[in-house]
Amino acid sequence: MTIFHYALTSSEQTRRTLWQILTGHRAVFAYLVILLAALIALMLIMILKYARDMKAREAERKKLKEKRRFSRLCALDEQRKKAGRPHFDDNVSLAGLCEKFRDFAASEMGLYYEESVIRAFVSSLAVSRLVIMQGISGTGKTSLSYAFGKFLRHEASIVPVQPSWKDKTDMLGYYNEFTGNFTETELLCRLYEANDSDAVFITVLDEMNIARVEYYFAEFLSVLELPELESRKIEVISDTADNDPELFDNGRLTVPDNVWFVGTANNDDSTFAISDKVYDRAMPININSKGIAFEAEYQEPIFISYTHLEDEFHKAQAEYQVPQEILDKINKLDDYVIEHFRLAFGNRIVKQLKEFVPSYCGCCGGTSGMLDGLDYVLCNKIFRKFESLNLSYIRDEIDGLILYLSELFGEEEMQESKEYINRLKKLF
């Protein structure tokens, strides 16, 4: 009994002790309950705030998705739908085009150019989508392209190249993640407009070699040489949106046939040398003297289509094909240059020759321009490469080359090439 009574008494005392402890710490438990409730309330507030932020972000994403990233290009889409197709005056030959343009530049703009310069410029459009106007400052390199746009009633775009240009975004623009807008350049807008037009589009890259051409123009150099139009696309933006411009193809834009780039280049200490990669793909036009003023009749501008201009080029290339006799002489000259100067013409230059020379004849109105056109290509596409050679190494070969040109084509022919080679000789 004593043991049982002790156990019972101990149990009662334990309960009393526990109760005293519990009742003595009511304030502590109250604080714990309040703290737990506060934590739960804070968690609920954070959950509600997170849900509200997610809803706001989703609304912002939806707003950005509905927003037009390309405002100027989409505006061009609206204009295109409202505007009708223009009427072109497609009734002029290549010779007439050159003559009328020369008179227009003189009578309307006070710009005077030699006939050979005008013919070389127009013929170059048949060969390459990149034309390089080079020479001393103040001879009218930029003005020629600008006047040509005025003459065609479709003004040329003048794009001043900046020294900091390094890639295509400097030419086309870029997407701003913060604003949701694409910074659209004038060049991008003109390129987009050309995709649904038959007009002639001239873009002037003014002072193109103030930055490295093979950097910022690299993708265009590759694309412009592709034969199929469907392959000539430049990526403008990496993703797509439902309300992007209508003429985009998965963020890419076609570089169409009716677009030409005309770069002006000065050769001085403030510019970079243009690489052979660029020169091989382009047609250079040298303007080293100011044109002599002459009396010109008033000439109105004309509005011709790209289709008509291209047809005239094809017509000239069919009518004034380079004779096999001349091609054989070109092959002999190629062998001579390889043997004595370690340079070759290359398939690209031969192809350009076959396109330029007939077009030059078309601009002259007959075969009288055959050898002059050939002389122009040899001087500006082949013998120009001599500048990259060791001049002291080729010094003894210069006179022999001039004699060989006379032997192949005649004493009075190839004067531009001979004069250029003689200028090189004076550098020794």
Query: What average pLDDT does the segment 118-128 reach?
Result: 97
Query: What average pLDDT does the segment 311-329 reach?
Result: 96
How does pLDDT run across 52-88, given as a tens digit for each residue? 888 777 766 655 555 689 999 999 999 988 888 888 9
CA 406 – CA 266 distance, rounded (Å): 32
Residue 159's H or E segment, with its range, is: strand 157-160
* pLDDT tier at 162, thresholds 50, 70, 90: very high
Contact in structure between 64 and 56 (CB atoms under 8 Å): no
Give CA separation, 387 vs 210, 213, 265, 402, in Å.
20, 19, 17, 16
Contact in structure between 329 and 410 (CB atoms under 8 Å): no
Q: What pLDDT, on the 0 to 100 scale, is given for residue 27?
A: 63
Average pLDDT, the chain: 88
CA 247 – CA 73 distance, rounded (Å): 9
Contacts for 159 with CB less than 8 Å, ≥ 6 apart: 171, 185, 186, 187, 203, 204, 205, 206
- pLDDT above 60 for 18: no
* pLDDT tier at 8, thresholds 50, 70, 90: very low
With H, G, I as helix, E, B as strand and everything else as coil, classify residue 174: strand
Instruction: Report the first-to-last Cα separation within the chain, whole angstroms.
Output: 135
Contact in structure between 151 and 104 (CB atoms under 8 Å): yes
CA 71 – CA 244 distance, rounded (Å): 9
More confident residue, 121 or 11: 121
Contact in structure between 144 and 190 (CB atoms under 8 Å): no
How does pLDDT run across 24-43, given as a tens digit for each residue? 556 666 667 777 788 888 88
Q: Write the Ramachandran bin of 207: left for phi over 0, alpha for psi from -120 to 50, otherwise beta.
A: left
Q: What pLDDT, on the 0 to 100 scale, is given for residue 67?
A: 66
Q: Lowest-pLDDT range, 301-310, 326-335, 377-386?
A: 377-386
Q: Which one of 15-19, 263-267, 385-389 scores highest in mean pLDDT?
A: 263-267
Q: Which amino acid is at 154?
A: H
Q: What pLDDT, on the 0 to 100 scale, is given for residue 112?
A: 95
Six token digits for residue 81: 């739908």
CA 321 – CA 317 distance, rounded (Å): 6
Q: How many residues does the chain have?
A: 428
Q: Name the nearest CA neighbour of 272 among 382, 162, 379.
A: 162
More confident residue, 51 or 408: 408
Q: What burial class does residue 270 get, using C-beta atoms within 10 Å of its C-beta: 0-12 exposed, 13-18 middle, 19+ buried? A: exposed
* pLDDT tier at 17, thresholds 50, 70, 90: low
CA 289 – CA 298 distance, rounded (Å): 24
How does pLDDT run across 247-294, given as a tens digit for each residue? 999 999 999 999 999 999 987 777 888 998 899 999 999 888 888 899
